Amino acid sequence: MPAHPAGLCVAASPRSITAPAESNPSAGTTSTQPDPWTIVESLNLPGHLRDAMAGVSCAAATDCWAVGDQRSAGDYSRPLAEHWNGAAWNLVDAPAPNGMLNSALGSVACASSTDCIAVGLYTVTGGNSFPFSERWDGVAWSLLTTPYPTGEQFGGFRGVACAGVGDCWAVGWAYVTDYQALDEHWDGTSWSLSTALPEVQLNAVTCTATDACWAVGGTDPPTGLAQPYVARWDGTLWSAATAQAPTGDQDAQLFGVGCANASLCWAVGNMQELLVPGDQPLIEQLSAGSWSVVTGGLPPTALGVLNAVSCSSATSCYAAGSATSSSGAAPLLERWDGTAWTDTSPAAPTGSVTSELDALTCMNSPCWTVGSYSAPDTTNIDALLYQLNGTTWTASSAPVPTGTQVNAFGAVSCVSASACGSVGSHTDGAYASGLIESWDGSAWSVVSSPSADSVDTVLNGVTCVTTTECWAVGDAQTSNGAAVTPAIESWNGSQWSAVTAPAPSTAQVTVLDGVTCVSADDCWAVGGSSSSSGPLTGGLGTVVSGVEQTLTEHWNGTSWSIVSSPNNSAADSAVLESVSCVATSDCWAAGITAGTAFSGLVEQWNGAQWQVVTSPQPPARTGAQGTANGGLFGVTCTDAQDCWAAGYSYLSNGGQNTDFETWIERWDGTSWTTVGSPNPSPFPVDALFSVSCSAVNDCWTVGSYGVPASGGGVYQTLTLHWDGTSWSWVASPNAAGDYGQTLTGVACSATGGCWSVGGFNMADGTLQTLALTTGRVAPVGVPEAPAAALFALLPLTMIAGRQLARCKRERSLSL
């Protein structure tokens, strides 16, 4: 069988944003009824030194984009793009310009759900910088050819706005022999440079119509004091408008602009009086055709800056930025109610020293504002998002049997939101025993398993027909070198009991990996068997001797019996990892076959026999060295025309296995095809082990991915979601500490949300269980890292012959 990514028994936990505190260090007049801004978790990538948001735009309440930049240790900054689907923020790949060193996106604008433009700048060797842009077409982000002034040495985009599809403006700055404004127009096909404005820098732009746009920034006059600058587009050309400068010797400029309608616009920024330390927020209003400075919201002594402004109506606008004090910087949010500006700032993330909001949108959606923050004990910068509501994964603790060193879940099954069962194994260092836990809607509890005390037992799969009938399958071994036999246990509503499980007569190793039921008297269990003279060793499921063959067993209401199942070739090893049925005569099993290379294996039960069904080979890698290998570890079906199989693929070259990536296939009633899936790991080391659907447009697949860590890398939990259109990466919590974690099972019900289970390594080398649930079961909000290490990420149950000892050995990872 294929070697799994080395060290899947080990991983690290991401940083998490805790619930908002009650206080805010920003100064100012606080509204008696502040708006309920709430921190919503974004995908701060584990191991990254920087994940910062700089722009946000919404095409609808369930269709928003946030952009910025990300950087991991020893790497350059790269574009960062995340999408909001109404429930969670999902990472979407945004390409970086070729030949760049650092690159970042600073602004985004959406004219529709299939037409968004993001802009920014990139640097090259020597330090020169240039503008770049990308377009979202509803499927993927792609780079656009972006012109810049002849002779430009430095420059970049800072803002973008669209009056409609194929009608967008991007603004920024360029330095040729001096600074000048950079303003370019997108006509749906290409960018074109507009006539250069004076020696100014443009920071933001907004449009209310094709012939009505405003751009703001600052001038650089001979006095050296920057002054606010406003320019207007009338459909033919850009021209300067008069912006009021603050009184006195003030250095000031504008960073954001937004309009409620053609005659009511706001521009925000900052000003600083000479010889007086600190910036002060600046607000200007367009009214009756002219711009003027507005005071209010903060007292004159308040320090800070406003970076963005957005309006949903003439009586509802917000301005976002940061308020500074002796203790640091905190989010600053001000609201216009049609009469005055008032401070409605939310609390900063608990423990943060600096927090700032850089972009804001209130159009086509409840308001979103994005930025970044950092904590006092780290130089890392994390993305920060606020909104009124949201849904995401929430961590839930699971109990551990007393005195055990190794505890890990392998699979989970749910009958309802308040009735789930999870299985795996636990050990005190001598023998492994089957681990079974039950969820009653409020907590997990350990349920007694009939596993013998003197036998190593691992439970790999579980399914529940009702609250009084469940099945768990796995394998057992009396001692090292002895035969590995199949294990089947049954739940009758009050206790679990062992049930006789047949094994092929010549088999020395027999393992059951997955189980499912159509009804109480119609269940299937799948796995593999081998004539090997000893247990499968060699690490992570590699067959040492003998040929492993697929195994299918059927329950008819009275007993389990072996049913013949095919293999691609009598000389090739094969094993089935998972099974799913939509009817008595329609079941699917997925696994792995080994010929010249490891590949996915898919078989179908038609009511009379199991048959191998043609499925795609592991995806080829353009320009990569090595042979493509892979395997499928989970399968699920919503109906006869809609099934999913998930696993991973990798490259094998001269005995070295590299470039592990997620691999997902879909059955449409006629054929299996590969469907694209995210790979968040920078190494890459990404793997999926289970998949489950509550509906055709609501599926989850889970596993693990590698992230940078001290001395190499470790594994984190990985959750991908299918929304009916595409798979996207959704943030999932990990146990505290830089230790290995993975998810090996997931189960979703039509009404009760989803559970995902697995295991993780603690600092002392012991392994613990992990259980995660979606927001449909648990309270909505930001997931909190557990106070105690009760979550786990351990691939005890990934492939035939999974020996508990291997995870005792694998307590480190070098990526």
* Tens digits of residue pLDDT in 57-111: 999 888 999 898 887 655 678 898 988 888 778 888 888 888 778 899 999 999 9
Same fold, 41-387 and 400-809: no
Residue 693 and residue 419: Cα distance in Å, rounded? 17
Q: pLDDT band at residue 417, thresholds of 50, 70 and 90?
A: confident
Residue 309 and residue 300: Cα distance in Å, rounded? 20
Q: pLDDT band at residue 787, thresholds of 50, 70 and 90?
A: very low
- Please tell me whether residue 235 adopts helix, strand or coil conformation: coil
Percentage of residues of the chain with pLDDT beyond 90: 33
Residues written for the chain: 815
Pairing outcome for strands 610-612 and 191-193: unpaired
What does residue 381 show for φ and ψ, rounded to 5 degrees?
A: -120, 130
Nearest Cα to Cα of residue 442 among 725, 674, 779, 98 = 779
- The torsion defined by the Cα of 354, 229, 232 and 264, in degrees rounded to 10, comes to 60
Write the DSSP assignment of 51-78 as a string of letters. EEEEEEEEEETTEEEEEEEEEETTS--E
At residue 778, does pLDDT exceed 80?
Answer: no
Q: What pLDDT was estimated at residue 782?
A: 21
Q: Which residue has the tokens 């999870």?
A: 422
3-state per-residue secondary structure call for 274-324: CCCCCCEEEEEEEECCEEEEECCCCCCCCEEEEEEEEEEECCEEEEEEEEE
**Residue of 101 and 769 predicted with greater confidence:** 101
| CB neighbourhood size of 11 (10 A) | 34
Q: What pLDDT was estimated at residue 594?
A: 82
Residue 558 and residue 543: Cα distance in Å, rounded? 33
CATH number for 400-809: choose from 2.60.120.10, 2.160.10.10, 2.60.40.10, 2.130.10.10. Answer: 2.130.10.10
- Kindly state the tokens that stand for 530: 């081998």
Q: What pLDDT was estimated at residue 700?
A: 93
Residue 150 and residue 806: Cα distance in Å, rounded? 61
Q: Which residue has the tokens 């809609």?
A: 642
At residue 378, does pLDDT exceed 70?
Answer: no
- The C-alpha R_g of the chain, in whole angstroms, comes to 29
Q: pLDDT band at residue 532, thresholds of 50, 70 and 90?
A: low
**Helix (H) or strand (E) run with residue 808 in it:** helix 804-809
At residue 10, does pLDDT exceed 60?
Answer: no
Per-residue pLDDT of 743-753, as tens digits, reads 888 988 776 57
**Cβ burial, residue 670 (10 Å; 0-12/13-18/19+):** exposed
Per-residue pLDDT of 140-167, as tens digits, reads 999 999 998 888 888 999 999 999 999 9
CATH topology (fold) of 41-387: Neuraminidase (2.120.10)
- Please tell me whether residue 809 adopts helix, strand or coil conformation: helix
Q: Which residues pair with 359 in a beta bridge?
A: 370
Q: pLDDT band at residue 283, thresholds of 50, 70 and 90?
A: very high
Q: What pLDDT was estimated at residue 178?
A: 80
Residue 621 and residue 267: Cα distance in Å, rounded? 49
Handedness of CA 14, 386, 354, 78 (dihedral sign): positive
Nearest Cα to Cα of residue 386 among 354, 350, 351, 348 = 348
Residue 184 and residue 172: Cα distance in Å, rounded? 9
At residue 352, does pLDDT exceed 90?
Answer: no
Q: Left, alpha or beta for 297 (phi > 0: left; psi -120 to 50: alpha)?
A: left
Nearest Cα to Cα of residue 254 among 207, 309, 311 = 309
- Kindly state the tokens that stand for 196: 């250069």
**What is the pLDDT of the chain when averaged over all its residues?**
77
Nearest Cα to Cα of residue 757 among 749, 768, 766 = 768
- Kindly state the tokens that stand for 162: 């669209």
Verdict on whether the full-model pTM lies above 0.75 = no
Q: What pLDDT was estimated at residue 165?
A: 94
| CB neighbourhood size of 534 (10 A) | 17
Q: What pLDDT was estimated at residue 258?
A: 93
Q: What pLDDT was estimated at residue 246?
A: 81
Residue 283 and residue 206: Cα distance in Å, rounded? 16
At residue 806, does pLDDT exceed 70?
Answer: no
Provide the CB-side half-sphere exposure for 424 (13 A, CA).
37
Per-residue pLDDT of 248-272, as tens digits, reads 657 889 999 999 998 899 999 988 8
State how far Cα 95 lies from the chain centre. Answer: 17
At residue 761, does pLDDT exceed 90?
Answer: no
Nearest Cα to Cα of residue 118 among 61, 186, 63, 181 = 186
Nearest Cα to Cα of residue 384 among 406, 358, 409 = 358
Q: What is the largest CA-CA distance in the chain?
A: 95
Q: pLDDT band at residue 223, thresholds of 50, 70 and 90?
A: low
Residue 305 and residue 332: Cα distance in Å, rounded? 8
Q: Residue 650 corresponds to which amino acid?
A: Y
Measured distance between the N- and C-terminal CA atoms of the chain, rounded to whole angstroms: 21
Query: Range with the lowest mean pLDDT among 288-302, 388-402, 466-480?
Result: 388-402
Q: What pLDDT was estimated at residue 75?
A: 62
Q: Which residues pair with 50 in a beta bridge?
A: 71, 381
Q: What pLDDT was estimated at residue 257?
A: 96
At residue 334, does pLDDT exceed 80?
Answer: yes
At residue 814, does pLDDT exceed 60?
Answer: no
Provide the CB-side half-sphere exposure for 140 (13 A, CA).
8
Q: What pLDDT was estimated at residue 196?
A: 60
Average pLDDT over residues 505-529: 92
State how far Cα 164 lies from the chain centre. Answer: 30
Q: pLDDT band at residue 330, thresholds of 50, 70 and 90?
A: confident
- The torsion defined by the Cα of 602, 604, 610 and 613, in degrees rounded to 10, comes to -50
- Please tell me whether residue 807 adopts helix, strand or coil conformation: helix
Per-residue pLDDT of 131-142, as tens digits, reads 999 999 998 999
State how far Cα 109 lies from the chain centre. Answer: 22
At residue 520, does pLDDT exceed 80?
Answer: yes
Average pLDDT over residues 536-545: 32
| Domain range annotation of the chain | 41-387, 400-809
Residue 144 and residue 124: Cα distance in Å, rounded? 18
| CB neighbourhood size of 140 (10 A) | 14
Residue 309 and residue 267: Cα distance in Å, rounded? 7
Q: Mention every residue, 6+ apart, whose C-beta is less than 8 A from residue 290.
A: 242
Query: Range with the lowest mean pLDDT among 131-140, 329-338, 487-496?
Result: 329-338
Q: pLDDT band at residue 685, thresholds of 50, 70 and 90?
A: confident
Query: Range with the lowest mean pLDDT among 195-209, 227-241, 512-526, 597-611?
Result: 195-209
At residue 534, does pLDDT exceed 50?
Answer: no
- Kindly state the tokens that stand for 212: 């009505």
At residue 340, does pLDDT exceed 50?
Answer: yes
Residue 203 and residue 196: Cα distance in Å, rounded? 15
Q: Which residues pair with 71 in a beta bridge?
A: 50
Taking CA atoms, 194 is separated from 109, 158, 184, 236, in Å, by 19, 16, 5, 10
Q: What pLDDT was estimated at residue 799?
A: 24
Range ranked top by mean pLDDT from 352-361, 444-453, 482-491, 601-610: 601-610
